[in-house]
Amino acid sequence: MLEQFKVQPKDQVIVSENNLRETVEAIFSKMGLSKNDIELAADVLVKADMRGVETHGVSNMLRSYVTGYGDGSINPTPNWKITRETPSTANIDGDQGIGIVMAARAMDIAIEKAEKVGMGVVTIHNSRHLGMASYHALRATEKDMIGMCMTSCPPSVLPTWGSEPLLGTNPIAVAAPGLKEGPFVFDAAMSAVAGNKLGLARRNETQLLGGWVADSQGNPIMDEVDPPPPGYDLSDREGGASSYLLPVGGTRELGSHKGYGFMCVVDILGGIMSGGGYGINPGRPNFGHYVAAYNIEAFMDTGEFKETLDEFLTMLKTSKPAPGHDRVMYPGLPEVEEHKLRSEEGIPLHYEVVEWFQDICAELSIPMNWKK
């Protein structure tokens, strides 16, 4: 993890996985979710924190979900339904249900289809934020399949050479099962940094690096710069913004057209093809999602696949590092290590996050017995 996003020791409060899970479940229960959905929703958030993915754990997301349930923009008991279906595909109307639950349910449908006909692809429109995209991709690995998940988000990122934030950060996640290594997990926003990370950098009192944001005219800023102030609207198109997100690559010369292209792909597969439209569509408050499950056995022997994946991942992690680096990591390895560490030592939350929990638990009359 880059320094910008680590909770500094002076600001840390340590909480156990069980304590955090219990409290998060109690909050979702107060929001009116069904019993099945409560456990799943809490699992998505707590797993993100356990894996060290602060951007998508309780600190960033839970408060926005609570706000969404409060103002009616998220439906706690969605009557979601399949609007179109074939043996290997489905499209779901999420009835404004939260994506962290909807995408997991959709992945279960994709897995079932992949078991029967080799592949399953399910899109979802009229849903909300889906949390850590790799959570849903990982669900397929538990069934010895390869999982993929994308989500078409509200606009906050400039196209290459553009000055208006027309694209979402639009993360893509892919997970594949190994034997002793892995799972392989790739999960990344197609912007240079995830939008959530600007807030994390601010809370940690650090600067944004060059190539992450552009100024209000659309010029990429290639030096370090202060994060935008709290409450700042990254999607403000009127030029009143002090900074916009850049696609991964930063500038055309460094390859920002590749990040830009992937953002479009996610808007097309998860947004337009789900029938929900793209990020900046007038009147579109929703996120469009895309999940896919690949039945490895449809292509080759699953055991052989997992052995070869182990070999591939081992080759990467044992390769010689460049000067100044201790080792090479494969995608997913830092998160597995962080999960192990946090299982033993607990989750370090920023004290501001703990204060938020104290406030919301008091407001909702939830007992909060966090032990260090």
Nearest distance, CB of residue 343 and a second copy, angstroms: 24
Q: How far is residue 266's CA from residue 288's CA, in Å, rounded to a whole number? A: 9
Nearest distance, CB of residue 99 and a second copy, angstroms: 18
Name the residue nearer to a second copy (CB basis): 60 or 274: 274
How far from 333 is each of 91, 182, 296, 317, CA to CA, in Å?
33, 7, 22, 9
Name the residue nearer to a second copy (CB basis): 249 or 348: 249
Nearest distance, CB of residue 3 and a second copy, angstroms: 10
User: How many Å from the N-terminal Cα to the C-terminal Cα in the chain?
Assistant: 24
Q: Residues 6 or more apart from 367 whose CB is under 8 A from it?
A: 361
Q: How far is residue 94's CA from residue 78's CA, in Å, rounded to a whole number? A: 7
Nearest distance, CB of residue 15 and a second copy, angstroms: 28
Ramachandran angles phi, psi of 82, nearest 5°: -80, 125
Name the residue nearer to a second copy (CB basis): 58 or 185: 185
Burial (0-12, 13-18, 19+ Cβ within 10 Å), 312: middle
Q: Amino acid identity of 14?
A: I
Name the residue nearer to a second copy (CB basis): 329 or 360: 329
Name the residue nearer to a second copy (CB basis): 308 or 343: 308
Contact 170, 190 (CB under 8 A): yes
> Closest Cα partner for 173 from 54, 292, 308?
292
Nearest distance, CB of residue 247 and a second copy, angstroms: 9
DSSP class of residue 250 equals S
Name the residue nearer to a second copy (CB basis): 13 or 166: 166
Name the residue nearer to a second copy (CB basis): 29 or 235: 235
Name the residue nearer to a second copy (CB basis): 74 or 185: 185
| Token pair belonging to 54 | 């602060």
Nearest distance, CB of residue 330 and a second copy, angstroms: 7
Contact 328, 321 (CB under 8 A): yes
Kind of pairing, strands 213-214 and 184-188?
A: unpaired
Contact 145, 108 (CB under 8 A): no
Q: How far is residue 346's CA from residue 2's CA, in Å, rounded to a whole number? A: 20
Nearest distance, CB of residue 356 and a second copy, angstroms: 30
Nearest distance, CB of residue 337 and a second copy, angstroms: 15
